[in-house]
Each structure stands twice: as structure tokens, then as C-alpha cells.
Amino acid sequence: MIELKSPTIEVMIRIRVLYKVIEELVKAFYSEANLETIRKGIFERQYFEKLFIYFLNKAGNKVGEVIIMIDWDKHRIATNTGNGGTFDIDTNKSINEQISELFPKIITYIQSIKQHLGVQKTEIWYGWRDEIYYDKNKLKEARHYCGFEPENKSVAPRWETLEAKKIIAEFIPGTLNELGLKITHFK
């Protein structure tokens, strides 16, 4: 039996915490993203392994990107251990702030980078888990369930050709180590 310490504390299963952190990050980086697709592809069915958020310039080329990565093997192991299955979450605070104090700083950093690089448009792309992507029937079912067209004929944006160096930063929160965040952008 789980005892709640106060009415403001809610005990969440690990997958829900993972999903809520990703949802908050996506909203912060790309407020127009379809959160229903993210809920279906991560929380309900665990189809997605990566989410790519591309920052595009006026020409439609990438000047920056955020990749949110999920290691489902680590997630499964953490869920099956006695100490990694649940989190006490204060529903009055942002989950990002509770999982890692660094996330709000990352969000502010991305906002300044978008302004500095003259980002005109943001897009989100989804990376399937290998067992989904390489199985034609599973991919068809997953695409349908998440609300995508039967086939993806779109071409991912290419990096802008600039003389500037690219900066790469990677983050893995300690208490939610199945989640990775990689940020790449021009200096």
C-alpha cells in the first residue's frame, strides 16, 4: 500500500513521469506540437525512440535541433527494480523542475538560441523504435494509431551550410536516466 503524504502529492508510475517530462520539454521547445501524438506514441504504446525538434531558418534549413531520446531498455530495467518504479511528484510544480533543476535553464537557453539564429519555423519529427520501424505491419499499425499517413514521403530538413561551428550538448537526468537530451546548433 502506498501512503500519500499530502493531497498535493501524487504517486506516478515511471512511464507517466517520463511522458510528462517529455511533454513539458516539447511544449517548451515547440508549443505547436501535437501533444496527442506524443501521448499515443510514448505513454500509451511506447512506439517512439526519439523526437527530433528542428529549428529552421527562412530558407527552411536547420540551424539547430533538439533530440529527445528514450532508452526503453533502461526504462524497463528501472521499472522492474523496487527503487525505480515510482516517483513522488508535487502536482503544484513543474515536473521538469522536480526531475532536474537544469531543465528550466536548458529551456531558456534554447529560447535565446532560437532568437540568435533567426529561427522562422520549428518542426517535430518522430523516430520509431527499431522493432516497430523494421516490421512493416507494426509500422503500419503504429503510423495509423498515431494519426500519420500510411507512408512518410517527407524529407527531413538539411543543415544550413554556414562557416560557423556547431555546438553539441547532451544531458541525462540522474533520476530518469532513460531520457536523453541532445542539443545541436550553430555558434
The per-residue pLDDT for 108 is 87
The per-residue pLDDT for 177 is 74
The per-residue pLDDT for 35 is 93
**Between 178 and 11, the higher pLDDT residue:** 178
Q: What is the pLDDT of residues 85-133, one digit of tens each?
A: 445 555 566 666 666 667 778 888 888 889 988 999 999 999 999 999 9
Give the per-residue SS3 of the chain. Answer: CCCCCCCCEEEEEHHHHHHHHHHHHHHHHCCCCCHHHHHHHHHHCCCEEEEEEEEECCCCCEEEEEEEEECHHHHHHHHHCCCCCEEEEECCCCHHHHHCCHHHHHHHHHHHHHHHCCCCEEEEEEEECHHHHCCHHHHHHHHHHHCCCCCCCCCCCCECCCCCCEEEEEECCHHHCCEEEEEEEEC
Q: What is the pLDDT of residues 21-65, one digit of tens each?
A: 899 889 989 989 999 999 999 999 999 999 999 999 999 999 999
**Mean pLDDT score across all residues of the chain:** 81
The per-residue pLDDT for 5 is 45
The per-residue pLDDT for 3 is 44
Lowest-pLDDT range, 72-86, 99-113, 152-166? 72-86
The per-residue pLDDT for 170 is 84
Share of the chain above pLDDT 70, in %: 78
The per-residue pLDDT for 91 is 56
**Model confidence band, residue 10 (pLDDT cutoffs 50, 70, 90):** very low
Q: How far apart are CA 182 and CA 164, in angstroms?
A: 19
In order of their start, the domains of the chain are 9-186 (3.30.900)
| 4 to 7, 16, 81: CA distances (angstroms) | 7, 17, 21
**Between 62 and 12, the higher pLDDT residue:** 62
**Model confidence band, residue 162 (pLDDT cutoffs 50, 70, 90):** confident
The per-residue pLDDT for 125 is 95
